[in-house]
Structure 1
Amino acid sequence: MARKVFTFLLLILVSSVYAQDLTIPQDSREGFGINQDTLSPSQRKSTGIKNLKNNKAKIEDYLIISYENDTTYVDTTLHIKKEYKFNYLRKDNFGLMPFSNLGQTYNSLTYNFQNTSLMPSFGARARHFNYMEIEDINYYRVPTPFTELLFKTAFEQGQLADSFFTVNTSPRFNFSVAYKGMRSIGRYQHILTSTGNFRFTTNYQTKNKRYNLRGHIVTQDLLNEENGGLQDSQVANFESGAPEFIDRSILEVNFENAENILKGKRFHLEHNYKIVREKDSLSKNKLSIGHIMSFEDKYYQFNQSAAVTDIFGSAFKSTNLVDRATIEHFHNKLQLNYSNNILGDLQFNLGSDNYNYGYNKIVVYNGQTITNRLKGNIYSAGGKYQKQYKKFKLNANAGVNISGDFDGNFIKATAAFNLNNDISATASINHSSKAPNYNQLLYQSDYINYNWQNNFNNTETQQLAFQLKSKKYATLSVDYTTINDHIYFKRDATGFSEEDYVPLQAFQNNKSITYLRAKFENEIRYKNIALNNTILYQNVQDDNNVLNVPEFTTRNTLYYSNHIFKKAMYLQTGVTLNYFTSYYMNDYDPVLAEFYVQTDKEYGGFPRLDFFLNAKIRQTRIYLKAEHFNSSFTGYNYYSSPNNPYRDFTIRFGIVWNFFL
């Protein structure tokens, strides 16, 4: 019902605010989601778009507004960070180890336990790397229609394409439409991937600037064929490098009859009304009320035509296995915002969450009845505070569940200070108590051992983080986290004999974990040559060895940049080294779509070298990369998880094309 009401209201809004004036004056930028303070003086400079049909429009007028209301603008330049983001996720994937095929999952080499969520996560976390959450959706404001097209080749048959279009039909109303689609067969047996992400966004402001609205509709489907990795007998063939096994399709995998899929749709609306609004820059008091409403309906499903009992254990039936977990989540939040020149910005909020997670059957196993539903209502309260005084900025955010079956709370505070025009320092503290993921509490499957109903404690984390940033020299980030009652998946052989099948189960760690990370980023430049470095050090103190990460992870890029052909083309070419030290890498389970702890063998310690040649011609950026070109001469010991090899040497091509009308 809520979904239908929201869709109806959105359609009414779209039809009622359409107008013909396509020029956005500077004074119309104020309002919902536009934080001009986040545009630095350097960002306001034009990047040289000379072919705009509207000669009054500048590139810095094409605004991109994040979920947190940070505002940047469309960037058509070519730099090394664009190279790092030109991938399936379209963001820097440092700290992630991709699987062999595009669109598969990623093994995490690092973790950030900072959390501000009061509700459990859905589960099937290995399928969520490309699942766009509310925080991943941007909003726009543009003086003329803007289009971006992306294309990139995949592995064997297939490709990745992302199309985006946004327009302001008036200075006060914008909408955008985008779709990212990908299909790739891959080079191993039964490993096809097919995904789609559709996004529609809109934002609106009334003439008197008192009422502001933004919202989005997102539908997503992420399909992966699963093969369980290489058979143990085939690992030696892969690592031998023998010519007959370079054709990876002849290597035998564990099964060829399974797939899993994650599908979801979300309707999200945020709007506010200014009761007391600013009349000029000297206004001391501002008061507004706000409302956030979102409805998300998604499911995860694992299908297998015939049971594979030697890997997953006994099954209730031998053919047509189907595991399907669903979640419906309806969220509402009311906000009262007060702003004062002396006190700063204050917010008080009340929230409600209606959830319905589960399955369409009740399982009775070993005399235990496993329910099929976790559902109820959670009521929460929270607040935010923000104050900026000269070069010092303070942010605080807190929330607590006050009623319902799930306890939860968090506190996050951040202080930032600009030491000078180049150096800034940031410190933050975060405490969180969060309920386990739904699939850790309740899971049902046609495989007998994948049925459980647990009563775990909340996972509690405390994190201290510091960052020192210099545009000229380097950025140093350090965080220290303590984790209590950490929940993980593992095959624990305790109590089993050697010939017994050891099931995969969820466990709760009974000891405290301490986790230290230090990340160093800098770029050394001499004329047209630069060396870009990212180095991550991690140290875990964990008696039970349930949180495993590599001690060192590094990415180093040596590249050359210059204009050629009388400055008609900008060229960038170089080599990137990715490397992480050996560690007990997590294994992957396709039934749950989760990674689980293994301590039998260490993986890693292999280099990945990529050669790239990128070029920019006007608003078109062209990317050519020879990925992992060292694979044939540094040893075939590269894995994304046990029995799942990383990709071999391949050459891939891509393009990003921007249109300004």
Structure 2
Amino acid sequence: MKKLFLAVFLISFFKLGYAQVRPTLSKDQMGDYKTNTQRNNGALDDDDPDYRGSRKSTSNKNIKNKDAKIEDYLIISHKNDTTIVDTTLTIHKEYKFNYLRKDTYRLMPFSNVGQSYNTLIYDFNTSQLMPLFAARARHFNYMEVEDINYYHVPTPLTELYYKTAFEQGQQVDAFFTVNTSKQLNMSIAYKGVRSLGKYQNILTSTGNFRGTVSYKTKNKKYVAHAHVAMQDLLNNENGGIADSNIPYFESGNPEFKDRAVLEVNFEDAENILKGKRFYLDHSFKLIQPKDSISQNQLALGHVIAFEDKYYEYNQDRQNDYFGEAFQNTNLRDRVTLENFYNKLYLNYKNEYIGDVTFNVAHNNYNYGYDKVTYINNEYITNRLKGDVVSVGGTYRKNIGSFNLEGDFGLNVSGDFEGNYIKGKATYKVTDGIAVSAMVNHNSKAPNYNYQLYQSVYKNYNWQSSFNNTETQQLTFALNANKLANISVDLITISDYLYFKKQTSTTFIKPYQSNASINYLKVNLEKQFNVGKFSLMNTVTYQNVKNGDNIFNVPEVVTRNTLYYSNYFFKKALFLQSGVTLNYFTSYNMNAYDPLMAEFYVQNDRAYGGFPRLDFFINAKVQQARLFLKAEHFNSAWTGYDFYSAPNHPYRDFTVRFGIVWNFFL
């Protein structure tokens, strides 16, 4: 069945790709779409207070179609939210000019680009019904379904991203999309990174390929979005600086400024996460409004997806860092997941009732290893296989200045229990002020590697039965760019799952807390402008009750940017320059386990309390945005106690540059 699906998908993908190649240059070709100002996965900043977007044509020198407007270049999310391509230069573009192409305020990056991130601020606004795959520390740059966008453009569009890396490497992200007709769009993109790094054995080499096709019939009754994603994320692992060399790093002795001389825990290991996904979402309107007076719309939709991924750890020789092993050389762990997903949904829209969707979905999963294990008189199986059937629905309705949203999902059969229900109400006070409240409840089965794990290292073998983790979240938010953006999250976590080292050992095991953890998170964002100068502030306060030594977060996280903006050379050049301070208070930071590619709880030492100062100069010339940054320039005079995780130092002072360039043909 899966092979048949792949064959049908590929045939359909290429058939759509080569159908209808007539060019379209009419100025009203995008009249079927309406843009909104909702930020779409970091692609737009038109809701930013310093947004400098233009509703006029883009550069006449670069665009062959003089009737094309910037608002005609559409980005469509997997939820069909539509935004426009943004070529402006804002402070938020500075925050997103990084490996993930996202704002990493809540994350602490490791020393080398392409490595993992430690989480400073947690987000439990999730609607998951199924367990997640293993190696979560490797998934920050793994593009999920919601990370793939579709496009509709009046002329071919290209975006090129480039940024320097650390020692013998670069990072690039190249994207191209074209509409061969009003009905058909295709896009192709590849993001690649290779960086040697400053420390021994931390080379990273990653690649993310994605291709999309969007199609709609002339009468708009049938709409299809499809994508293919091929991803491989490889990291050499060294286990961090050896404990005996930590004093050398923290001393600031010039002899150890060359970080390659510091001893690491091992130099012969690597892990890799690979995945491929085929996805198709298509719908047909059974009832379509014939004119503006008609109110009823009924559509039948279908989503089909197949994803195959694996995580592998390789090491040349057994290392006592993980304990005893079944063999001494050529160690290899490999775990796979195949997930085949089908969803049938019915959508009804009515001016008075609202937008209602009901769906029925089926997951066929196959997770595990190619062998069974018998250890300590315990038999550990090699596979978790089965089927899960779920139901769900969404609701959207605008009532005057109110916007109401609701979502629910429930697993009705199968080995994994799970459910979620979410409701949100937003009230628009004025054009620039909105208040909202959200409630979210989620119950999800433990991730697969909590339930079953096998390794060539003897201590990393278990088959466990844990309760579902339940979260209840209540959020209040005020969005007022001229005043401040404030959000308050009250979160309760029951049966929290975590990894932790066993007492007096060097290996980790999964655990579940019986306590009910209360997590308070308050976030404030405010920008002050005085002439050409601006001060952008983001501050987060966090407090945890009943989660001591289990759920550790810094009490305060802050980012403050003082910068100058101005036009030069008759407005041919737009320049931004300033300094950014990143800081979080000291806390028991989670440690990193390279064998499992997971973070685990540690309470032996507190980390943090060090400032990170970055100086940047950014410029925009036509559709090219140039970035130059002196990262962590204070590292030599504020102390060598900066860490991304225990035994894993953050970056020393370095200068990096790059560019994002859009071409409108």
Contact persistence 1:285–1:339 (CA under 8 A) = yes
CA displacement at 1:44 relative to structure 2 = 7.2
2:226 aligned with 1:215, yes or no? yes
* TM-score, normalisation: structure 1: 0.97
**Within 1, Cα distance between the matches of 2:568 and 2:322?**
58
**Within 2, Cα distance between the matches of 1:396 and 1:343?**
13
Residue of structure 1 equivalent to 2:394:
384
Structure 1 pair 37–593 and aligned structure 2 pair: CA distance change class (3 A)? closer
Letter in 1 for 2:310: Y
Residue of structure 1 equivalent to 2:42:
none
1:193-212 matches, cutoff 5 A: 193-212=204-223
Residue of structure 2 equivalent to 1:394:
404
Matched residue SS, 1:234: helix
CA displacement at 1:542 relative to structure 2 = 2.1
**Within 2, Cα distance between the matches of 1:156 and 1:292?**
43
**Within 1, Cα distance between the matches of 2:530 and 2:13?**
53
Residue of structure 1 equivalent to 2:311:
300
2:642 aligned with 1:638, yes or no? yes
Residue of structure 1 equivalent to 2:371:
361
CA displacement at 1:15 relative to structure 2 = 2.6
CA displacement at 1:595 relative to structure 2 = 0.1
1:134-533 matches, cutoff 5 A: 134-309=145-320, 311-493=321-503, 501-533=505-537
Residue of structure 2 equivalent to 1:541:
545
User: Residue 126 of structure 1: which of 137, 144, 148 is its match?
Assistant: 137
User: Residue 59 of structure 2: which of 26, 35, 49 is its match?
Assistant: 49
**Within 2, Cα distance between the matches of 1:406 and 1:245?**
51
CA displacement at 1:45 relative to structure 2 = 2.4
**Within 2, Cα distance between the matches of 1:294 and 1:23?**
35
Once the two structures are superposed, residues 447-495 of structure 1 have per-residue CA deviations (whole angstroms, 9 ceiling, x without a partner) of 00000000001001100011101121210011111000110000131xx
**Within 2, Cα distance between the matches of 1:339 and 1:540?**
42
Letter in 2 for 1:195: T
Letter in 2 for 1:219: M
Contact persistence 2:30–2:154 (CA under 8 A) = no
Contact persistence 1:22–1:170 (CA under 8 A) = no
Identity across matched positions, percent = 58
**Within 2, Cα distance between the matches of 1:231 and 1:643?**
7
Task: Give the total of aligned pairs.
Answer: 651
Once the two structures are superposed, residues 43-65 of structure 1 have per-residue CA deviations (whole angstroms, 9 ceiling, x without a partner) of 67237533321101011111111
Once the two structures are superposed, residues 132-177 of structure 1 have per-residue CA deviations (whole angstroms, 9 ceiling, x without a partner) of 0000111111000000111100001100011000000001110110
Matched residue SS, 1:449: coil
After superposing the two structures, state which structure 1 stretch, 43-52 or 542-551, moved more.
Answer: 43-52
Residue of structure 2 equivalent to 1:90:
101
**Within 2, Cα distance between the matches of 1:611 and 1:659?**
28
Matched residue SS, 1:256: coil
Contact persistence 1:47–1:77 (CA under 8 A) = no
Matched residue SS, 1:112: coil
Residue of structure 1 equivalent to 2:19:
16
CA displacement at 1:26 relative to structure 2 = 4.6
**Within 2, Cα distance between the matches of 1:654 and 1:155?**
13
Which runs of 4 or more aligned residues in structure 1 lie more than 4 Å from their structure 2 counterparts after TM superposition?
34-44
CA displacement at 1:208 relative to structure 2 = 1.1
Residue of structure 2 equivalent to 1:81:
92
Contact persistence 1:382–1:398 (CA under 8 A) = yes
Matched residue SS, 2:11: helix
1:578-657 matches, cutoff 5 A: 578-657=582-661
Residue of structure 1 equivalent to 2:9:
6
**Within 2, Cα distance between the matches of 1:596 and 1:280?**
58
CA displacement at 1:231 relative to structure 2 = 0.5
Letter in 2 for 1:415: A
Contact persistence 1:35–1:69 (CA under 8 A) = no
Matched residue SS, 1:5: helix
**Within 1, Cα distance between the matches of 2:333 and 2:279?**
28
Structure 2 residue ranges without an equivalent (≥5): 40-45
Structure 1 residue ranges without an equivalent (≥5): 494-499
Matched residue SS, 1:174: strand
Contact persistence 2:581–2:613 (CA under 8 A) = yes
CA displacement at 1:192 relative to structure 2 = 0.3
Residue of structure 1 equivalent to 2:77:
66
Letter in 2 for 1:20: P
CA displacement at 1:241 relative to structure 2 = 0.5
Residue of structure 2 equivalent to 1:115:
126
**Within 1, Cα distance between the matches of 2:24 and 2:261?**
61
Contact persistence 1:166–1:176 (CA under 8 A) = yes
Structure 1 pair 610–463 and aligned structure 2 pair: CA distance change class (3 A)? same
Structure 1 pair 319–638 and aligned structure 2 pair: CA distance change class (3 A)? same
Contact persistence 1:115–1:432 (CA under 8 A) = yes
2:575 aligned with 1:565, yes or no? no
RMSD: 1.5
CA displacement at 1:37 relative to structure 2 = 7.7
After superposing the two structures, state which structure 1 stretch, 480-489 or 541-550, moved more.
Answer: 541-550
Contact persistence 1:28–1:171 (CA under 8 A) = no
**Within 2, Cα distance between the matches of 1:420 and 1:577?**
33
Once the two structures are superposed, residues 210-260 of structure 1 have per-residue CA deviations (whole angstroms, 9 ceiling, x without a partner) of 000001100000000000000111000000101110000100100000000
Letter in 2 for 1:640: S
Contact persistence 1:23–1:144 (CA under 8 A) = no
**Within 1, Cα distance between the matches of 2:254 and 2:487?**
45
Structure 1 pair 274–35 and aligned structure 2 pair: CA distance change class (3 A)? farther
1:550-561 matches, cutoff 5 A: 550-561=554-565
**Within 2, Cα distance between the matches of 1:54 and 1:16?**
23
**Within 2, Cα distance between the matches of 1:37 and 1:568?**
27
After superposing the two structures, state which structure 1 stretch, 598-607 or 45-54, moved more.
Answer: 45-54
Contact persistence 1:25–1:171 (CA under 8 A) = no
Letter in 1 for 2:83: T
Once the two structures are superposed, residues 293-330 of structure 1 have per-residue CA deviations (whole angstroms, 9 ceiling, x without a partner) of 11100000000000102x10110001111000100001
**Within 2, Cα distance between the matches of 1:35 and 1:269?**
23
**Within 2, Cα distance between the matches of 1:35 and 1:396?**
22
Structure 1 pair 325–456 and aligned structure 2 pair: CA distance change class (3 A)? same
Residue of structure 2 equivalent to 1:497:
none
**Within 1, Cα distance between the matches of 2:432 and 2:23?**
43
CA displacement at 1:501 relative to structure 2 = 3.2
Contact persistence 1:22–1:171 (CA under 8 A) = no
Matched residue SS, 2:87: coil
